[in-house]
Amino acid sequence: MKNRVSFYVVAALIVLGVLGIAVSVFSDPAGVLRTVAISAIVIAIVYFLITRVTSSNSGNKENRAFKQAARKSKKRFMKKDATSSASRKTKTASLTSIKKPKKKSSVQLTVIEGKKSKRKNRASL
């Protein structure tokens, strides 16, 4: 019974709202356009402020640090490839002194500051 009453109340409010908008459009169309324009401007300003505030979070800083580390790593890797290919061309392996070079890892790890205090609770299975 409660559901039926609340449905009628909500339906009546919606009908009255639509009726009020229709009357205001016919009586003062310029006022309705002005109200819509002001509402759009206010919503745009609020959206702009919210995106500015949320973009200054640490997630953006972490993302920027990750991109910078990736760029450095890529430059370092490209530099190593260029020097190693040039040295390979100049060096010709003689048959008498063939030594297997020790393979160095080309991975350069960079520490990126972030949220390290948050840990997974592995005991909750």
Q: Report the pLDDT value the prediction gives residue 78, as an integer from 0 to 100.
A: 82
* Helix or strand holding residue 19 (H, E): helix 2-27
Q: In this model, does residue 71 exceed pLDDT 80? A: yes
Q: Report the pLDDT value the prediction gives residue 122, as an integer from 0 to 100.
A: 63
pTM score, two decimals? 0.37
Local structure of 111: helix, strand or coil: coil
Share the mean pLDDT of the chain: 78
Could you tell me the two tokens for 100? 């297997």
Q: Which residues of 78-108 are buried (b: 16+ CB within 10 A; e: fewer)?
A: eeeeeeeeeeeeeeeeeeeeeeeeeeeeeee
Q: Report the pLDDT value the prediction gives residue 66, as an integer from 0 to 100.
A: 84
Q: How confident is the model at residue 87 (pLDDT cuts 50, 70, 90)?
A: low
Q: What is the Cα–Cα distance from 111 to 69, expressed in whole angstroms? A: 9
Using a 10 angstrom Cβ sphere, with 0-12 exposed, 13-18 middle and 19 or more buried, the burial of residue 32 is middle
CA angle 63, 49, 61 (to 5 degrees): 15
